[in-house]
Structure 1
Amino acid sequence: MSAAPLAAAAGGLVLPSTARAAASDYRVRMRERPLEPVSYTYPSAIAGLANELPAAPLVQEVLRNADREAVANPGGWAKPTRLTYSFGWDPSTKDGTTREWYPQGVSTSYDAYQGPLPGTNTDADKRAVLVSWYAKGASLGKGARVTFVDVTAPSRPRYRHVLLVEPKKSAGEPYDFSPVNVHAGGIAWYGTRLYLADTRGGLRVFNIDQMFQVSTGGAAARWCGYHAGDKKYYALGYRYVLPQSRAYDNAGAPLRFSQVAVDRTTPQPSIVVSEWRPHSQNGKAVRWYMNPETSSITSEEAVEERRIGIANVQGAVSVNGTYYFSVSDGTTRRGRLYRRPRGNARDPYGYLSIGPEDLSYDGDRDGIWGLGEHPRKRHVYVVGR
């Protein structure tokens, strides 16, 4: 695929004159079962869980049952350039301060549907933001979660955490699941599927319409999966779980799947994977086309690769051929937003929050969503383009 030239290099940010078709350099391979030998597939295990658990809830149900209240447009923080909207996590919880969970990825219902959530009932036209987190410290081993935030009424955002799980089945045992222990550095919500960056593995995929409700009493806080003692399913206290349905393994040239974002401005919708390289400007942004009918990647081979030319990139998104990159600058200084090909290759396009992470473009706002990861600096926000 031919691509428009990038901006000329300047100030040490060396960029190629063109992006190039990746041929078979960067590839992914889809699989529907774990890497170890097993007798089940992810879809078959999910079908087995469906026979044991309440009917899978829709995204609208999770939003309707949001149990935490975010704070719209809070003050008292180092705000990004061109800020148009923001929210902070519920102050009555530890979401904004905990060192056991760190937010990383962001995607929205615009990524998924190029507008609000579909439907004809009273929950139609909802707009949602999804944020991924990974467990750390005392919660290490508790996997990764995704937060569903209802921003339909921007002044009253509400949200709920959902645990990501890997379904499984052992011979003679009930269908089960366990936490998904990945960094969750980026997410891309496209159609009915949620793509999760698995740094060295590739992309894990979750069918957004295959969530399950589990028990929240008894052993809920300490157990994940089937509990033989009372024959119930628990999820470390979470009410909903979202099981993995497939994966796209890193099958070509070595690539760090650090972040992932949807691009609906290409002739065919696509996703862009970008690399975090803390001491190198040689990180790549690599693109695959998507199938709008199945929400899947169309082929193994990537259709474009670009050398980023900036170190320490935490998030990347492409809009009408222009790339935007978030770059962190420690725990006390605001991060920076770079724009290519327009803009000076040496200077940032503006500032982001302290500790910026993943990016996501919202065409309804013509803005870019971002977020901060550090305790007490965890705002989710939109900046204008």
Structure 2
Amino acid sequence: MKQRGRHRRRRRGQALRATLAGTALALTAAATLISTSQATGGNSPGGLTELRAGAAAPQLRLREHLLPRSALDTLSGTMGGNVGVEGVLDDTDHAMRDTAGCSDSERSALPVEPAATRAYCWDRADARTSAWRPRSVTTSGDADVTGQWGTRRVILAGWTHRGGQAAPADRGKAFARVAFVDATDPDALRYRWVLLVAPRAGGKDFTAVRAGLGGMVWYQDKLIVTAAHGAGLLVFDMHRVLRAGVDSAAVGRTAGGYSAAGYRYVMPAVGSYEMEGGACTRAGAVPCFGSLSLDRTTAPASLVATEATVGRADRTRVWRYPFSTALYRTGLRADAEGRVDAVEAYTTKGTGVSGVVSHRPAGAREARWYVGRPSGSGGGHGSLWRQNGRGAQAATCTADQSHACWGLGPGALSYWPQTGELWTLTGTAARRVLYAVPLSSVDDSVD
């Protein structure tokens, strides 16, 4: 399970510096920043309250389950071998539109303050479909300390199927797909869809995975995503991406080979993490997973998670699990019995959290937690709060004196340390944008 050495090659410094350069985008929203607030009331989530380790551990403990290597090898062998990330990126078939190509409606979904320095809109069919919703993002900045996978910069965006709004033939499928975006050239992003599946019949067949994709983290050669309804985590191996040779509506083995509902590529799950305390309940003792992100400023690197809550909840838990440092495996750090314990946990008064990132600047005594929240009224811009144990801060907008300065319908967050950018996406149909904001700009807007 080691990461291959070829994925640690660095690009030339000149190319990397070019990708760091960004020009602030012109926004169409009317509100502008007039001040920042050390928030103590209103819709402020307040400071983080630490949970005692002894009390939090049983509720947050995971149990690891790995699929047999033989089943995974059988599926790879019968489908012609693994094509990996490179095989997908060599076969992209969708182009993303840059800011100039986005519509006024799409640009209006961008943050008011701080401004995005990079933004892209999806293929027009993907931008408008009501059957699918973009929810999460992770990058090769998570995957490797070089910020690249091999020679490429890559963005992964997780979309979930909204079966109730799809055509009758598609209802109830609840598929999950990931856009593999080649971002090597920041002026010409292209992508290809990959369907998430689960092996069955000893690796002789597969079925579609039901995953919520509210959160997604790519660390070394593993992709960890939230399962359906936040009930645990699913694990995928980035080397094990397979090609389906039959183009049909079926999913799995057919008379002519393997089909994936019209998708050319599939990625089979290799394992899962389930809450040891039993089924999760929203605002209950055992939390359901909401979103995920990676924090490389801890030792070892850690998976940061937030709880999915309902409207009646008055708090949200945020916590972290350590990644393994063993040479023989990648994934979360599990003991001999497959148990994974959280190493840090807090509660925040904010509910409906859409994304969270933890990052400790060099020389700082504690981490800063960046928490994204949707509009309280629905349909409006969200807010982005920077929290610690002493309080919370967010930019204040001039139009209504609120903190609704973040993107419209905000999704999960991901920090790309090599570029200093905070990446996220919006999920509203016809107003879907993938964008980046420098984390330094976020800090400047609240300091």
TM-score, length of structure 2 as denominator length = 0.75
Partner of 2:87: 61
DSSP-derived class of the 1:352 partner: coil
Partner of 2:161: 135
Partner of 2:64: 30
2:320 equivalent among 287, 311, 333: 287
Partner of 1:37: none
Partner of 1:244: 269
Q: Is the 8 Å Cα contact of residues 8 and 17 (structure 1) preserved in structure 2?
A: no
Q: Which residue type is aligned with residue 207 of structure 1? A: D
Q: CA deviation at 1:186?
A: 1.1
Q: Is the 8 Å Cα contact of residues 278 and 313 (structure 1) preserved in structure 2?
A: no
Which range is displaced more, 329-338 or 55-64? 329-338
Q: For residues 243 and 9 of structure 1, do their structure 2 counterparts lie closer, same or farther at Cα, with a shift above 3 Å needed? A: same
Q: For residues 304 and 272 of structure 1, do their structure 2 counterparts lie closer, same or farther at Cα, with a shift above 3 Å needed? A: same
1:215-238 deviations in Å (ceiling 9; x for gaps): 14xxx231111003x2x1010111
DSSP-derived class of the 1:111 partner: helix
Q: Is the 8 Å Cα contact of residues 162 and 242 (structure 1) preserved in structure 2?
A: yes
DSSP-derived class of the 2:117 partner: strand
Pairing 1:204–2:234 present: yes
Pairing 1:225–2:245 present: no
Q: CA deviation at 1:118?
A: 4.2
Q: Is the 8 Å Cα contact of residues 135 and 213 (structure 2) preserved in structure 1?
A: yes
Distance 1:206 1:13 in 2: 34
Q: Is the 8 Å Cα contact of residues 24 and 302 (structure 1) preserved in structure 2?
A: no
Pairing 1:86–2:119 present: yes
Q: How does 1:344-355 map to 2 (within 5 A)?
A: 345=392, 347-348=394-395, 351-355=405-409
Distance 2:180 2:390 in 1: 34
Q: Is the 8 Å Cα contact of residues 180 and 193 (structure 2) preserved in structure 1?
A: yes
Q: Which residue type is aligned with residue 339 of structure 1? A: R
Q: For residues 96 and 60 of structure 1, do their structure 2 counterparts lie closer, same or farther at Cα, with a shift above 3 Å needed? A: same
Partner of 1:322: 368
Q: How does 1:304-383 map to 2 (within 5 A)?
A: 304-320=344-360, 321-329=367-375, 332-341=379-388, 345=392, 347-348=394-395, 351-383=405-437
Identity %, equivalent residues: 29
Q: Is the 8 Å Cα contact of residues 166 and 244 (structure 1) preserved in structure 2?
A: yes
Q: Is the 8 Å Cα contact of residues 48 and 389 (structure 2) preserved in structure 1?
A: no
Q: Is the 8 Å Cα contact of residues 153 and 182 (structure 2) preserved in structure 1?
A: yes
Number of residue pairs aligned between Structure 1 and Structure 2: 356
Q: For residues 301 and 226 of structure 1, do their structure 2 counterparts lie closer, same or farther at Cα, with a shift above 3 Å needed? A: same
2:139 equivalent among 99, 108, 117: 108
Q: CA deviation at 1:64?
A: 1.7
1:17-64 deviations in Å (ceiling 9; x for gaps): 54543444410000125xxxxxxx4x3322111221122012122112
Pairing 1:152–2:152 present: no
Distance 1:69 1:286 in 2: 36
Distance 1:132 1:250 in 2: 22
1:189 equivalent among 214, 218, 221: 218
Which range is displaced more, 146-155 or 322-331? 322-331
Q: For residues 288 and 377 of structure 1, do their structure 2 counterparts lie closer, same or farther at Cα, with a shift above 3 Å needed? A: same
Q: CA deviation at 1:341?
A: 2.3
Q: Which residue type is aligned with residue 437 of structure 2? A: V
Greater per-residue helix proportion:
2
Q: For residues 46 and 334 of structure 1, do their structure 2 counterparts lie closer, same or farther at Cα, with a shift above 3 Å needed? A: same
Q: CA deviation at 1:340?
A: 1.0
Pairing 1:261–2:293 present: yes
DSSP-derived class of the 1:181 partner: coil
Q: Is the 8 Å Cα contact of residues 386 and 394 (structure 2) preserved in structure 1?
A: no
Q: Is the 8 Å Cα contact of residues 331 and 374 (structure 1) preserved in structure 2?
A: no
Query: What RMSD over aligned residues (CA atoms) do the two structures have, in Å?
Result: 2.3
Listed as ranges, the gaps of 5+ residues in structure 1 are 1-6, 34-40
Which range is displaced more, 58-67 or 237-246? 58-67
Distance 2:368 2:132 in 1: 32
TM-score, length of structure 1 as denominator length = 0.86
Distance 1:18 1:284 in 2: 10
Q: CA deviation at 1:304?
A: 0.7
Distance 1:130 1:57 in 2: 17
Q: Which residue type is aligned with residue 381 of structure 2? A: R
DSSP-derived class of the 1:96 partner: helix
Listed as ranges, the gaps of 5+ residues in structure 2 are 1-36, 278-284, 335-339, 361-366, 397-402, 440-447
Distance 1:254 1:342 in 2: 23
Q: Which residue type is aligned with residue 218 of structure 2? A: W
Partner of 2:207: 178
Pairing 1:161–2:193 present: yes
Q: For residues 9 and 295 of structure 1, do their structure 2 counterparts lie closer, same or farther at Cα, with a shift above 3 Å needed? A: farther
Distance 1:9 1:306 in 2: 18
Q: Which residue type is aligned with residue 70 of structure 1? A: M
Q: Which residue type is aligned with residue 216 of structure 2? A: I
Q: Is the 8 Å Cα contact of residues 387 and 393 (structure 2) preserved in structure 1?
A: no
